[in-house]
């Protein structure tokens, strides 16, 4: 197995850092900056590999680190961010000033996960555990979907007592929108949704409405030490051009376009949610979060339109 170059060197210390080592590293970086990490240990007089020095600096010695327990606001924000970003700890940490990815990961694994489980929420999907169980069964029993993970698409299944919604998201391929490099591979710009009534209500008539909403987060470089709920999360029904369609037959695709409101054309990240209302929900005028999109981070000033369809027609 190939090993990192620094690991070839013999006699390198491992394990916990002593106060003396910390002092050496802190003094060196304070004076000279870290520069090339692989040369830091030698220059700082440490018998460590550069990787170990980097980790120690990032996770412990950096002067801008916030010490102490996580506040409930921070914990709530982590849960919300995790719902959108998943286990992208570094991206989550970028939105919590003074906190490290390692710290957040440890908190998640040792504490938050358990709290969510206690509340009956699945820490992976952020859905009620009962619903997750049904989804698992459903996806286990149905391999006939036209969407395959081998294609350039992500796939997920939602199920309610009425019928199931299958949706597939096509990842960004177009050159016409330039997106943040690290995120571009996961941006859905097109998607379609198949609605399958076979579960309990085959042949039903229903109405379908896509109601996009967005959740806004502050940009990663936000240095504010405290972030109010209003600042970091905004579940909204903004000025979208959303398309509502009615279909008496789920084979009829509903086509439409969504347009990002100017209000949101900034550098904030956001995710989209797709709402689909059944006939019952329309009558009761409840916007039911029928289908929630894959977590997708988008810089909206670069991406102003998203096309969608219903009824299994691939755009």
Partner DNA sequence: AAATTGAGCAACCGCATTCCT
Partner DNA sequence: GAGGAATGCGGTTGCTCAATT
- By CB under 7 A, name the one of 27, 71, 87, 280 that touches DNA: 87
Nearer to DNA, 75 or 236 (CB): 75
- The answer to whether the beta carbons of residues 315 and 309 sit under 8 Å apart is yes
- The answer to whether the beta carbons of residues 294 and 154 sit under 8 Å apart is yes
The reply on whether position 109 binds DNA by CB under 7 A is yes
The reply on whether position 10 binds DNA by CB under 7 A is no
- By CB under 7 A, name the one of 56, 82, 99, 134 that touches DNA: 56
Given the rule CB under 7 A, which of 97-105, 118-126, 171-179, 242-250 is the region that contacts DNA? 97-105
- The answer to whether the beta carbons of residues 146 and 136 sit under 8 Å apart is no
In the chain, DSSP finds a helix count (H) and a strand count (E) of: 11, 9
The reply on whether position 36 binds DNA by CB under 7 A is yes
3-state SS of 197-240 is: CCCCCCCCCEEEECCCEEEEECCCCCCCCCCCHHHHCCCECCCC
- By CB under 7 A, name the one of 43, 47, 88, 122 that touches DNA: 88
Per-residue contact string for residues 166-205; x = within reach of DNA by CB under 7 A: ---------------xx-----------------------
Q: 255-259 and 188-196: which strand pairing?
A: unpaired
Contacts for 269 with CB less than 8 Å, ≥ 6 apart? 216, 217, 219, 297, 298, 299
Between CA 112 and CA 278 the distance in angstroms is 34
The reply on whether position 51 binds DNA by CB under 7 A is yes
Per-residue contact string for residues 113-152; x = within reach of DNA by CB under 7 A: -x--------------------------------------
The reply on whether position 26 binds DNA by CB under 7 A is no
- By CB under 7 A, name the one of 28, 29, 99, 103 that touches DNA: 103
SS3 state at 272: strand
How many CB atoms are closer than 10 A to CB 65? 14
Binding residues for DNA, per CB under 7 A?
Answer: 1-7, 13-17, 35-38, 48, 50-52, 54-56, 59-60, 69, 87-91, 101-103, 105-107, 109-111, 114, 181-182
């Amino acid at each position: 197995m190939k090993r990192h170059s620094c690991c070839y060197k013999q006699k390198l210390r491992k394990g916990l850092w002593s106060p003396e080592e910390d002092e050496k590293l802190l003094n060196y970086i304070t004076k000279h900056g870290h520069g090339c990490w692989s040369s830091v240990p030698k220059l700082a007089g440490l018998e460590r590999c550069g990787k170990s020095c980097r980790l120690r600096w990032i996770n412990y010695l950096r002067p801008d680190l916030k010490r102490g327990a996580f506040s409930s606001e921070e914990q709530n924000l982590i849960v919300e961010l995790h719902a959108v970003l998943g286990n992208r700890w570094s991206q989550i940490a970028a939105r919590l000033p003074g906190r490290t990815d390692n710290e957040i990961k440890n908190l998640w694994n040792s504490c938050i996960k358990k709290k969510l489980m206690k509340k009956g929420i699945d820490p992976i999907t952020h859905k009620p555990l009962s619903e997750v169980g049904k989804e698992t069964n459903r996806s286990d029993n149905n391999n006939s979907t036209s969407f395959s993970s081998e294609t350039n698409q992500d796939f997920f299944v939602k199920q309610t007592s009425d019928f199931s919604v299958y949706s597939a998201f096509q990842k960004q391929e177009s050159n016409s929108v330039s997106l943040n490099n690290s995120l571009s591979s996961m941006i859905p710009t097109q998607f379609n949704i198949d609605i399958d009534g076979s579960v309990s209500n085959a042949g039903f008539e229903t109405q379908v409405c896509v109601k996009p909403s967005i959740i806004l987060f502050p940009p990663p470089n936000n240095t504010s030490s405290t972030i109010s709920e209003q600042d970091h999360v905004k579940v909204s029904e903004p000025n979208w051009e959303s398309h509502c369609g009615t279909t008496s037959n789920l084979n009829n695709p509903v086509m439409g376009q969504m347009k990002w409101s100017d209000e949101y054309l900034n550098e904030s990240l956001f995710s989209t949610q797709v709402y689909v209302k059944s006939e019952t929900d329309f009558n009761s005028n409840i916007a039911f979060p029928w289908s929630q999109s894959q977590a997708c981070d988008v810089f909206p000033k670069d991406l102003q339109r998203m096309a969608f369809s219903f009824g299994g027609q691939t755009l």
